[in-house]
Amino acid sequence: MKDRELFLNLLREAFREKAGRLLPALLGEIWDEAVAGFKNDVKSLLREVLEDELRKFMQEKNPAGKKARPAKTAGRRSGQGLAARTGRPVPPAKGKGRSSRRNQAPENAPPGPAAKGKSICKEAPAAAPTPARRPEGGPGSAPGPEPQDGPPPQKAYGVYLYCITNAGAEKLSPGVCGVDGNGEIFPLVHQSLCAFASTVSLAEFSQEALERRLQDAAWLQAAVEAHENVIEKVMENNPVVPMKFCTVFSSAEKVLDMLQEREKELRQVLDFLKDKEEWGLKVYCNRPVLKKLVAEQSENIRKMKAGAGPQPAGAAYFLKKKIDGLIEEETGQAARRCAAECHQALSQIAVLSAENKLLDREITGKSEEMVLNGAYLVSQARLEEFKETAAALEQKYRPCGFEFALTGRWPPYNFCLPPERSAEA
């Protein structure tokens, strides 16, 4: 009789716990279905009203038997002359007679659609001016019909910015290409700063075009790799402030304006980054391996099993569920302890460190769960110590089901703000 009452009490508690967890979800589903049904009804009603009004409007404006005249089509006009080396139009930039600047871009760098950058590593918004056109019959032009009406089509260009470094680093290794696969990389110098850039067509790199092209995985991968390749070539012997992918300015003059406006801040960043490198550590957890280890070695679980004694069938089932929940909880705690210890040990060696967002399995392509995505700015003088510490941590935690991936060196995206601002971030 006592066993029966004990079993019923345990069953009652389990049902209450289950109902407490399920009720909010069930109520949420009912509410979501009601809202979705109401939205569908509103959409259907709105569609019917719009169709009726559109039908009435068309009948009034276009009575039976009267056809609308087709619109005239504008003819082609050829664009502006191409530069001898880059194959792109090169109208002159707006000159302001700065004696402290040395614009080493291909002569007369072309304009494009972006305004001055607002932060070191953020994209500059696009706003296309009207570039000059190549006269009819010029080199590379093809004859076409005279236009009937409207302005001629024009091909706009912008200046794509990769990174900023010290002046004096104007030469790159031969064969380095821009993000579009054939753009020549050129330096833009102001005082002690040098920016590396290339000319890009806004047919490919305007905001509207990028929204379409970012869906093309093959194009995106090739463009990102080219962007990173330019930065890595520059940073072989120089500190760099890297730009985010697709930072586009309207002209070389706009880039020089930005360098002049932010000269003090950029100078401070480059001085701070000198003789330092960014490295990354990603730690992954094989959860089944770690869970098995926790079940075997946890003192709390051992005590729970030992103190339970023989149990009736129903009580034994609920005890097993309780033990499984405790194993899951302690497995999560063990994974977090590993990540915290690794990050703290490496942060003590690094000049600065940051914990980035953990990436999903869909992004990493790994079956293991990511538990740490750390970034570390390391002085070159302590780089070997940093690597040895990471290797020791890997040796300690690998038997527990953890996998380490130490990578570098990287462009210092995580630390390209001035030191006091990086510390606050």
DSSP letters, 54-102, are HHHHHHHHS-TT--PPPPP-PPP---PPPPTTTSS--PPP-----TTEE
Note whether 267 and 193 are within 8 A (CB).
yes
Place of tokens 């302001």: 96
Measure CA 122 to chain center: 11
Q: What phi and psi, each to the nearest 5 degrees, are found at residue 133?
A: -105, 150
Neighbours of 141 (CB within 10 A): 16
What pLDDT sits at residue 86? 39
What percent of the chain lies above the pLDDT cut of 70?
Answer: 60
pLDDT for 150-166, tens place per residue?
444 455 889 999 999 99
Compare 174 and 30 and report the one with higher pLDDT.
Answer: 174
pLDDT for 84-132, tens place per residue?
333 444 334 443 434 344 444 444 344 333 333 333 333 443 333 333 3
Cis before 55? omega within 30: no
pLDDT for 28-48, tens place per residue?
666 666 556 666 766 676 677
36, two tokens: 């979705």
* Residues 302-309, mean pLDDT to the nearest whole number: 70
pLDDT for 349-383, tens place per residue?
999 999 999 999 999 999 999 999 999 999 999 99
Q: Is residue 415 pLDDT above 50, yes or no?
A: yes
* Residues 303-322, mean pLDDT to the nearest whole number: 71
Q: Which residues pair with 282 in a beta bridge?
A: 373, 405
Neighbours of 50 (CB within 10 A): 10
* The dihedral formed by the CA atoms of 4, 9, 13 and 16, expressed in degrees to the nearest 10: 90
Note whether 90 and 109 are within 8 A (CB).
yes
Residue 60 one-letter amino acid? E
What pLDDT sits at residue 187? 93
Of 275, 253, 267, 277, the closest CA to residue 166 belongs to: 267
What pLDDT sits at residue 310? 64
Separation of alpha carbons 169 and 270, rounded Å: 13
Separation of alpha carbons 74 and 58, rounded Å: 27
pLDDT interval class at 212 (50, 70, 90): confident
What pLDDT sits at residue 65? 45
